[in-house]
Protein backbone atom coordinates (compact mmCIF):
# COMPACT_ATOMS: atom_id res chain seq x y z
CA UNK A 1 0.00 0.00 0.00
CA UNK A 2 1.26 3.43 -0.96
CA UNK A 3 0.09 6.84 0.06
CA UNK A 4 -1.11 9.10 -2.76
CA UNK A 5 1.81 11.45 -2.02
CA UNK A 6 4.34 8.61 -2.38
CA UNK A 7 2.62 7.34 -5.54
CA UNK A 8 2.71 10.78 -7.16
CA UNK A 9 6.36 11.33 -6.31
CA UNK A 10 7.90 7.94 -7.05
CA UNK A 11 5.53 5.93 -9.25
CA UNK A 12 3.59 8.36 -11.44
CA UNK A 13 6.61 9.71 -13.38
CA UNK A 14 7.58 6.16 -14.39
CA UNK A 15 4.00 5.23 -15.22
CA UNK A 16 3.87 8.28 -17.51
CA UNK A 17 6.95 6.99 -19.37
CA UNK A 18 5.14 3.69 -20.04
CA UNK A 19 1.97 5.52 -21.12
CA UNK A 20 3.96 7.72 -23.49
CA UNK A 21 5.78 4.70 -24.92
CA UNK A 22 2.51 2.89 -25.59
CA UNK A 23 1.08 5.95 -27.31
CA UNK A 24 4.22 6.28 -29.47
CA UNK A 25 3.36 2.83 -30.84
CA UNK A 26 -0.26 3.82 -31.38
CA UNK A 27 -1.59 1.70 -28.53
CA UNK A 28 -4.12 2.35 -25.81
CA UNK A 29 -2.67 2.03 -22.33
CA UNK A 30 -4.80 0.54 -19.56
CA UNK A 31 -3.97 0.01 -15.91
CA UNK A 32 -5.15 -2.97 -13.89
CA UNK A 33 -5.29 -2.03 -10.24
CA UNK A 34 -6.74 -3.72 -7.18
CA UNK A 35 -7.63 -1.34 -4.42
CA UNK A 36 -8.90 2.16 -3.98
CA UNK A 37 -7.39 4.50 -6.56
CA UNK A 38 -10.18 7.08 -6.56
CA UNK A 39 -7.90 9.88 -5.32
CA UNK A 40 -5.38 9.09 -8.08
CA UNK A 41 -7.78 9.08 -11.04
CA UNK A 42 -7.18 12.78 -11.88
CA UNK A 43 -3.43 12.09 -11.94
CA UNK A 44 -3.94 9.10 -14.24
CA UNK A 45 -5.98 11.25 -16.61
CA UNK A 46 -3.31 13.97 -16.52
CA UNK A 47 -0.57 11.57 -17.69
CA UNK A 48 -2.75 10.33 -20.55
CA UNK A 49 -3.75 6.90 -19.25
CA UNK A 50 -6.53 5.60 -21.49
CA UNK A 51 -8.43 3.52 -18.95
CA UNK A 52 -8.47 1.30 -15.90
CA UNK A 53 -9.45 -2.32 -15.74
CA UNK A 54 -11.14 -3.94 -12.76
CA UNK A 55 -11.01 -1.27 -10.10
CA UNK A 56 -12.18 -2.87 -6.88
CA UNK A 57 -15.52 -1.57 -5.69
CA UNK A 58 -15.40 -3.00 -2.18
CA UNK A 59 -12.38 -1.08 -0.94
CA UNK A 60 -12.26 1.94 1.31
CA UNK A 61 -13.60 5.04 -0.50
CA UNK A 62 -14.89 2.93 -3.39
CA UNK A 63 -18.46 2.39 -2.21
CA UNK A 64 -21.22 2.33 -4.82
CA UNK A 65 -23.35 5.45 -4.81
CA UNK A 66 -27.00 5.19 -3.84
CA UNK A 67 -28.09 6.90 -7.07
Q: What is the mean pLDDT of residues 10-25?
A: 98
pLDDT of 7 = 93
Any residues with CB less than 8 A from the CB of 1 and at least 6 apart, and which? 35
* Residue 17 confidence (pLDDT) above 80: yes
Q: Name the pTM for this structure.
A: 0.77
User: Using one digit for the tens of pLDDT, what is the confidence trace for 20-58?
Assistant: 999 999 999 999 987 778 889 899 999 999 998 866 656
pLDDT of 60 = 63
Cα–Cα distances (Å) from 7 to 3, 25, 41, 43, in that order, read 6, 26, 12, 10
DSSP 59: S
Residues 46, 58: Cα–Cα separation, whole Å: 25
Signed CA dihedral, 20, 21, 27, 30: sign only: negative
Amino acid sequence: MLSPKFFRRFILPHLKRFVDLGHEFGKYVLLHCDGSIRSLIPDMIAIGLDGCSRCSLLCYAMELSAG
